[in-house]
């Protein structure tokens, strides 16, 4: 018996960009179901459906083998302990994870502070970078509107995703250092990939080609 497969797609901008690219492919999502409020959407391939999930939850569905494949930002993936395979860098949604501070403040100024406070949603990546640099800082975990933190005095600087830099400039912030490049990654359940490699490889190729 061959089990039905599910692909986990992220909600939001990345998901919308991806769904547009999947139109006309065997992985195209059913438009009728997409217009409804259901979160499990049939695709053009019988036995294959898509789950629409928040990025932070998505890798858990894949690591548990509920979804065989998923698409998620590397920034999200790096914050989780999900045992998943990362089979492709899709090159979509490319951003930079950057250290940003108010204009006139340099990286050296920040490093010299006896008690540096960094506001970020990306606590693990920031902590790893601090370790590499031999720096210490208090991390202020924030979920959104991170740019406000240095403006209002909650933190000295922030570590956040930067695409064009427009939001930073609007808040008088400048990019001081790029920690890493981030982009959408195609992830796979270890069990599904290793136990059904041919079936999975065909799906991976199809998704990667559509995203390219």
Partner 1 sequence: MPTHTPHYPDLLFAAAARLRRWEGRLMDLLQRSGYAELRPSLVMREAEGENRVRFFDGDHLVALRWDFTEALARMLVRRFPEPPPRVSYAGAVFRRPASSWEPVERFEVGCERLSVDPGERAEADLELAQLLMAVPGALGLQGGLLHLGSAALLAKPLEAENLPETLAARVAACLSRRAPHRAFEALEGHPAARRLTEHLERLSQPPDGPELLDTLGEGPYADLLAEERSHLARALVRLTPLLPEGLTLQVDPADVSGLGFYTGPTLRLWAPGAQRELAAGGRYDGLFPQLGRPWSAAGFCVRLSALLDLAEARPDLFEGSEP
Q: Which residues bind partner 1 (CB under 8 A)?
A: 1, 3, 63-65, 81, 83-89, 180-181, 185, 188-198, 200-201
What is each CA distance from 106 to 90, 101, 149, 152, in whole angstroms? 34, 8, 17, 19
Comparison of 83 and 138: residue with beta carbon closer to partner 1: 83
CB 4, min distance to partner 1, A: 11
Give the DSSP letter of residue 54: -
- Nearest distance, CB of residue 173 and partner 1, angstroms: 26
The smaller minimum CB distance to partner 1, of residues 171 and 190, is found at 190
Six-digit token string for 25: 């492919």
The residues, ordered by sequence, that sit 6+ positions from 31 with a Cβ below 8 Å of its Cβ are none
Residue nearer to partner 1 on the CB measure, 29 or 82: 82
Nearest-approach distance from CB 109 to partner 1, in angstroms: 27
How many separate helices (H) and strands (E) can be counted in the chain?
A: 10, 11
What is the Cα–Cα distance from 145 to 49, expressed in whole angstroms?
34
CB-nearer residue toward partner 1: 76 or 149: 76
Q: Name the burial class of residue 126, with classes exposed (0-12), middle (13-18) and buried (19+) by CB atoms within 10 angstroms of its CB.
A: buried
Return the number of the residue (64 or 151) whose C-beta is nearest partner 1: 64
The H or E element containing residue 199 is helix 197-211
Provide the minimum distance between the beta carbon of 104 and partner 1 in the complex, in angstroms, as a whole number: 30
Q: What is the DSSP string of 118-156?
A: EEES-HHHHHHHHHHHT---EEEE-SS-TTHHHHHTS-S
Smallest gap from Cβ 83 to partner 1, in A, equals: 7
Q: How far is the CB of 194 from partner 1 (least distance, A)?
A: 5
- Cβ-based nearer residue to partner 1, 167 or 183: 183
What's phi and psi for 64, nearest 5 deg?
-80, -5
């Amino acid at each position: 018996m061959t089990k039905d497969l599910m692909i986990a797609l992220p909600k939001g901008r990345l998901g919308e960009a991806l769904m547009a690219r999947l139109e006309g492919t065997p992985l195209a999502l059913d438009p009728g179901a997409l217009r409804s409020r259901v979160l499990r959407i049939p695709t053009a391939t019988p036995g294959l459906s898509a789950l629409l999930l928040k990025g932070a939850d998505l890798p858990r569905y894949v690591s548990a083998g509920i979804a065989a494949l998923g698409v998620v930002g590397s920034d999200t993936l790096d914050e989780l302990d999900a045992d998943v395979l990362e089979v492709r860098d899709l090159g979509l949604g490319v951003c930079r994870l950057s250290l940003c501070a108010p204009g006139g403040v340099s990286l050296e100024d920040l490093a010299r502070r006896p008690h540096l406070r960094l506001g970020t949603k990306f606590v693990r990546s920031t902590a790893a970078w601090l370790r590499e640099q031999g720096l210490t800082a208090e991390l202020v975990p924030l979920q959104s509107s991170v740019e406000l933190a240095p403006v209002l005095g909650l933190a000295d600087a922030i570590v956040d995703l930067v695409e064009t830099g427009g939001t930073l400039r609007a808040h008088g912030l400048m990019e001081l250092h790029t920690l890493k490049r981030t982009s959408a990654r195609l992830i796979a359940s270890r069990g599904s990939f290793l136990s059904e490699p041919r079936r999975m490889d065909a799906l991976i190729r199809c998704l990667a080609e559509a995203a390219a």
